[in-house]
Structure 1
Amino acid sequence: MMRSNILFVMMMMMVTLIVAAPIDLEKRGGKTYTGTGTWFLPATEGGSTGACGPKEGNNSPIVALNHPQYGSLNKKSKYCGKKIRITGPHGTATATINDACPECKHGDLDLTPVLFKKVIGDMNKGVGKIKWSFI
């Protein structure tokens, strides 16, 4: 009986450790950021290669991450290549971080036209409120 009680206590301690393990919410999509979504044309604004390196086109499902979150513009960010889910007044889309937006504030994203249309809608608006998180 004593042996089974000890095993039970040990199992409960292991469960507690597993449940209490720290989780990086940012990497698991737990934190939601809010900001302004704008659009840009990668092929003509800044060149066809983003700050993260891979080629990008106007119809690529990529975003330029705001400077405060991107980090140093002189090197590749730890967020390069990360997938995010963006929601705006017109809908939701999945994108990859492939560039940096030097003028953008914390939470802002610069979207390619294909993403801007899905998330915000009318290109003539130029800007729209967005929410996004890592997935």
Structure 2
Amino acid sequence: MGSCGWENSASDLIAALNHIQMNNGANPNNNPNCGRHILIDGPDGQVKVEIVDTCPGCESGSVDLSPAAFTHIASLGDGRVPIKWKWVD
């Protein structure tokens, strides 16, 4: 369960947004970024994901992807890869 309060699985196309841009208030379940979508361009492709969590260790501009989402933009063995993303809601 992520900071938005929803249960997800590794096979879902989801992401955790960095804590700076997520900007959680007292109740992160009420964050207006929860449920929004971003389009990510990576080294090997593109994927649209839903924001369902916060990444406390991520720098501004970074997102942490589910394994299923990551495989659309790079090989899982690559670990961290450069990306560009934008809101698509």
Q: Output the TM-score relative to the length of structure 2.
A: 0.90
Quote the RMSD (CA, aligned, Å): 1.2
1:35-94 alpha-carbon deviations (Å, 9 max, x no partner): xxxxxxxxxxxxxx1111111101111100000001137522220000111110110011
Equivalent runs, 1:26-105 vs 2, <5 Å: 49-72=1-24, 74-76=26-28, 77-105=31-59
Given candidates 76, 86, 89, the residue that maps to 1:133 is 86
- Which structure has greater strand proportion? 2
Q: Unpaired runs of 5+ in structure 2?
A: none
Give the Cα–Cα distance (whole angstroms) in 2 for the partners of residues 51 and 62 of structure 1. 13
Return 5+ residue gaps in structure 1 as ranges: 1-48
Q: Select the structure with the greater relative contact order (CA < 8 A; seq sep ≥ 6).
A: 2
Please tell me whether Structure 1 or Structure 2 has the larger radius of gyration of its CA atoms: 1
Aligned to 1:118: 72
Structure-1-length-normalised TM-score: 0.61
Aligned residue pair count: 86
Larger % of helix: which? 1
Distance of aligned partners of 1:79 and 1:122 in 2 relative to their CA distance in 1, 3 Å threshold: same
Percentage of pairs with the same residue: 35
